Structure 1
Amino acid sequence: MSTPLKFKDKNRSQFFATVRKRVDTYFTEEALSPHANGAMWTKASFFLVGYAFIYGLILSNQFGLWTMLGLAIVLGMFAAFIGFNVSHDGLHGSFSSRSWVNRMAGNSFYLLGANPYVWKITHNIVHHTYTNIPGHDEDIEIAPGLVRLDPDEKLRPWHRYQHWYTIPLYSLASLSWVFRKDYVKFFKSKIGHHDNSSHPRSEYVKLFVSKAIYYFFFLVLPFLVLDLTWWQLVVGFVLMHVAEGLVLGLVFQLAHAVEGTAFPTPDEQGDIQEAWAIHQMNTTANFAPDSSVAAFFCGGLNRQIEHHLFPRICHIHYPAIAGIVKSTAHEFGLPYLENRSFTSALVSHFRLLRKLGRPVPIKPVRTNTRNLARQVPA
């Protein structure tokens, strides 16, 4: 049995205790709940109602093929936005102080064709604990062997081109989730080094029943009620998930796989020699932090630093606490990684993929010939 990885706070850092106290003080002084407010409920309702409305328009069978195709693509994007803005907070328990509300919000993940129980294991437990640690955080294993994000992974010839093919590859993420990933993760004995060998019986039922319901509503029912051939239906279904997967993949990767983020390797004892919170600061980055558009659609995931430090705080509050986190990080001499826009983050991700797809350049060793000559006997 492998030894669990531990974070060893060898410098006894007070960073997390300090920033947590300051954030708690902010909510106390402002008399605010760290959970959803009116703006959050409005936003969640907008995406949920919009998703149902677009789905209803498609099933109405009142539009031509190209309009239906456009609606399918927008529906896929709305599914991703529900994942960011509703499901994610619910699954982290940050949407509400009431567990049943969080459970309902988290169950909106079924609308993406994904399983919330599996997500809580792979994301909440594994990714949030072992962020960017090769062999532990499977979120950085996008397509094992095909995409290289681990600097210690064997470099293969095709990795030279990964900065061109990886980003389009994200568009397949949602299809993989619906038909493959959840099943593979559920029945995997270990996810990273997390023991995944035992699940409640009810989760077996939920996995298969929810998948069957999703397949019915998005494949069987449309085929029965729409004037489409089977291949036209398949094209629409695939493009819906291409849009969903591309949005999901880009937003998540721009937070952890950009220039400046670390991919630390445990020491010989299998430990990380730094505090967990400092590890998060080294492996996580924000993008477009001042963009109200990014904040609205990405569900706070453009502020991943705040999210990783405070996953139990609703993302609607991240802009307010970001200044506290940033100033405290600077006070303790810690990095606070940011890309000022979505585009700059995407370019940084592209450059990192290109860098990891090439061998590390070997710097030539310069010999001091003058000193060497003095050492040679006459």
Structure 2
Amino acid sequence: MQTPVKFTNTGRSQFFATARRRVDTYFKENGISPTANFAMWFKTIFFLGGYGLLYGLIISNLFSAWTMLGLAVLLGIFAAFIGFNVSHDAMHGAFSSRNWLNKILSSSFYFIGANPYVWKLSHNIVHHTYTNIFGHDEDIDVAPGLIRLDDGERYRPWQRYQHLYALPLYSLTSLSWVFRKDFVKFFQKKIGQHANPRHPRHEYITLFATKAAYYFCFLVLPYLVLDLAWWQVALGFVVMHLVEGALIAIVFQMAHLVEGTSFPVPVNGMSIQEAWAVHQLRTTANFAPRSKTAAFFCGGLNRQIEHHLFPKVCHIHYPAITEIVKKTAEEFELPYLENPTFFSALHSHYRILKRQGRRELAEAA
């Protein structure tokens, strides 16, 4: 699979070589594996077990409609946390040194209605390589025509209000994923400018079979076993996904679409005048890096810099390697972007939305 964009400084930057050597030394000297440890297994059991328990309580038909709606909200939250904490690491091959175990845990992505094979193509390969490059990184094409994030994008009058309607729009992320996104990305010829491969036959079967199973478990089965009208089942399903979608979208936005992050434009549409690792530093930001709560629930996605540089390292180790990466970046006089809290990052993203929605600034650009 080929793409015209190249990082012309690849191999010349001493930053990543130094950071990687220091991180490797940390694991070696402390006798630690970069994969999952006991704490990581505890999180995995906690989130998967909680998800299963919540689903079972809903299907039990022992509760009132309002109680089941509250359980649906919690189920959406746990679905997002499974994606952050379990599926994400497994799909990057960071959970275990055993490929079969990573594959099994990657299947937890089906619990949120998404396809791990498609995710690996669009996220692991494209997003992690061409981060924040419009036309290539489709993960930042939040809502083309509705959300404007970069000076190079065409301005539309309704984007003046995008800071007001962005969050409701973000909430649709999970619903879009379940019913549309995986199918579109699976069959489109390119993801960004990256040629989509010829998919193995079994992936066609898996895509449709797992989607059908998900629709059955979350729409058909509840309608059959619960004392609810069809519209109540549909409402619970939608509410669950609105919560899940909002969490997924917001956590991603705060990692790449905040003040300070850049949106590089390839020279002549072909090259980025930067080493790949330096490009990651300029396009990625951490948030709430000292918050144990954020670390537990966000699956290390609050430390996106470390994740983008070391995607094969389990996120449970990010707190330990953060200081190594940050110190190395400072030594090489490179940016290391971070917002101290969740809400400061959210406010930063809000300011970008508001600024990019101003007509006068768009016309000046």
TM-score when scaled to structure 1?
0.94
Letter aligned with residue 139 of structure 1: D
Partner residue, 1:358: 358
Q: CA deviation at 1:150?
A: 2.8
Structure 2 contact 355–361 (Cα < 8 Å) conserved: no
Matched, 1:114 2:114: yes
Secondary structure of the equivalent of 2:301? Answer: coil
The 8 Å contact of residues 261 and 282 in structure 1, kept in 2 or not, is answered as: yes
CA distance in 2, matches of 1:36, 1:175: 30
Is 1:311 the counterpart of 2:311? The answer is yes
Q: Distance in 2 between matches of 1:197 and 1:33?
A: 33
SS of 1:31's partner is: coil
Rounded to whole Å, the distance in 2 between the matches of 1:330 and 1:289 is 17
Summarize deviations over 1:72-122 as a string: whole Å, max 9, x none: 000011000000000000000000000011001111000000000000001
State how many pairs are aligned: 364
Is there any run of 5+ residues in structure 2 with no aligned partner, and where?
A: none
- Spell out the pairing of 1:53-132 with structure 2 (5 A cutoff): 53-132=53-132
Q: 1:193 to 1:227 in 2, by over 3 A?
A: same
1:249 aligns with 249
- When Rg is computed on C-alpha atoms for both structures, the one with the higher figure is 1
What's the CA shift for 1:11?
Answer: 9.5
Which position in structure 2 is the counterpart of 1:193?
193
TM-score normalised over the length of structure 2: 0.97
Q: For structure 1, which runs of at least 5 residues remain unmatched after alignment?
A: 365-378
Deviations 1:313-347 (A, max 9, x none): 00000000000000000000011100000000000
How far residue 358 of structure 1 moved from its aligned partner, in angstroms, is 1.9
Aligned position for 2:158:
158
SS in 2 for 1:150: coil
Deviation at 1:163?
Answer: 1.1
One-letter identity of the residue aligned with 1:79: A
Of 302-311 and 2-11, deviating more is 2-11
Whether the 8 Å CA contact 1:187–1:197 is kept in 2: the answer is: no
Cross-structure match for 1:295:
295
What corresponds to 2:139 in structure 1? 139
Please say if residues 126 and 194 of structure 2, whose CA atoms lie closer than 8 Å, have aligned partners that are also in contact: yes
User: Which stretch shifts more, 297-306 or 193-202?
Assistant: 193-202
The alpha carbon displacement at 1:65 in A equals 1.1
Q: Is the 8 A contact 2:91 2:116 kept in 1?
A: yes
Residues 131 and 283 in structure 1, CA contact (< 8 A), matched pair in contact too: yes
Residue in 2 aligned with 1:341?
Answer: 341
How far apart are the structure 1 equivalents of 2:12 and 2:336? 20
CA distance in structure 1 between the aligned counterparts of 2:206 and 2:10, rounded to whole angstroms? 43
Q: CA deviation at 1:2?
A: 8.7
Structure 2 CA distance for partners of 1:230 and 1:269, relative to 1, 3 Å: closer
Measured in 1, the distance between the counterparts of 2:11 and 2:224 equals 64
Give the Cα separation in 2 of the matches to 1:184 and 1:243. 23
What displacement does 1:242 show? 0.5
Give the superposition deviation at 1:12: 2.5
Deviation at 1:47, TM superposition (A): 0.3
- Residue 225 of structure 1 corresponds to 225
Aligned to 1:51: 51
- Distance (Å, rounded) in 2 between the aligned partners of 1:219 and 1:325: 45
* Aligned position for 2:29: 29
CA distance in 2, matches of 1:333, 1:15: 10
Hey, what does 1:369 align to over in structure 2? none
Whichever residue aligns with residue 210 of structure 2, its letter is: S
Deviations along 1:174-223, one digit per CA (max 9) or x if unpaired, are 00000001000100000001111511101000000000000000001100
Amino acid at match of 1:83: G
What is the distance in 2 between the residues matched to 1:212 and 1:71?
Answer: 23
Deviation at 1:360, TM superposition (A): 5.9
Q: Give 3-state SS (helix, strand or coil) of 2:256's partner.
A: coil
Q: Output the CA distance in 2 between the equivalents of 1:360 and 1:136.
A: 27
In the alignment, is the contact (CA less than 8 A) between 2:174 and 2:245 conserved in 1? yes
Moved more, 36-45 or 150-159: 150-159
Aligned letter for 2:261?
Answer: T
Q: Are the counterparts in 1 of residues 2 and 195 from structure 2 also a CA contact under 8 Å?
A: no
- TM-fit CA distance, 1:13: 1.9
Match of 1:367?
Answer: none
CA contact (8 A) 1:134 1:140 kept: yes
8 Å CA contact retained: 2:157, 2:359: no
Q: Are 1:175 and 2:175 counterparts?
A: yes
Question: CA 1:362–1:219 in 2, change beyond 3 Å: closer, same or farther?
Answer: closer
DSSP 3-state at the match of 1:72: helix
* Structure 2 contact 284–305 (Cα < 8 Å) conserved: yes
Which residue of 2 is the match for residue 203 of structure 1? 203
> Would you say the 8 A contact 1:11–1:274 is kept in 2?
no
Aligned-residue RMSD, C-alpha: 1.6
**The residue matched to 2:172 in structure 1 has which SS?**
helix
Q: Contact 1:151–1:263 at 8 Å: present in 2 too?
A: no
For residue 254 of structure 1, give the secondary structure of its aligned residue in structure 2.
Answer: helix
Q: Please state whether the residue corresponding to 1:338 is helix, strand or coil.
A: strand
